[in-house]
Amino acid sequence: MNAKPQFSILFVCLGNICRSPLAEGVFRDVVAARGLTDRFTVDSAGTGAWHEGDLPDPRSIEVAAKNGIDLTTQRARKIRQDDFSRFTHIFGMDLSNVEKLQRAAPARAAASIHLFLEFATGTTIEIPDPYYGDPDGFDRVYRTIRDASASLVDKLA
Closest CB to ligand 4NP among 5 and 128? 128
129 is catalytic: yes
Nearer to ligand 4NP, 2 or 134 (CB): 134
Which of 24, 118, 10, 76 has the alpha carbon at shortest distance from 32?
24
CB of 11 to ligand 4NP, least distance (A): 10
Question: Of 127 and 152, which has the nearer Cβ to ligand 4NP?
Answer: 127
Report which DSSP code applies to 94. S
Task: Show Cβ contacts of residue 119 under 8 Å, excluding neighbours closer than 6 positions.
Answer: 89, 91, 152, 155
**What's the closest the beta carbon of residue 13 comes to ligand 4NP, in angstroms?**
3
Burial of 74 (0-12, 13-18, 19+ CB in 10 A): buried
Which member of 19, 43, 83, 94 is catalytic? 19
Q: Are 155 and 88 in contact (CB under 8 A)?
A: no
- Interface contacts to ligand 4NP, rule CB under 6 A: 13-19, 50, 129, 131
Q: Whole-number minimum distance, CB 155 to ligand 4NP, in Å?
A: 23
Backbone angles phi, psi at 94, to 5 degrees: -135, 175
Positions marked active-site: 13, 19, 129
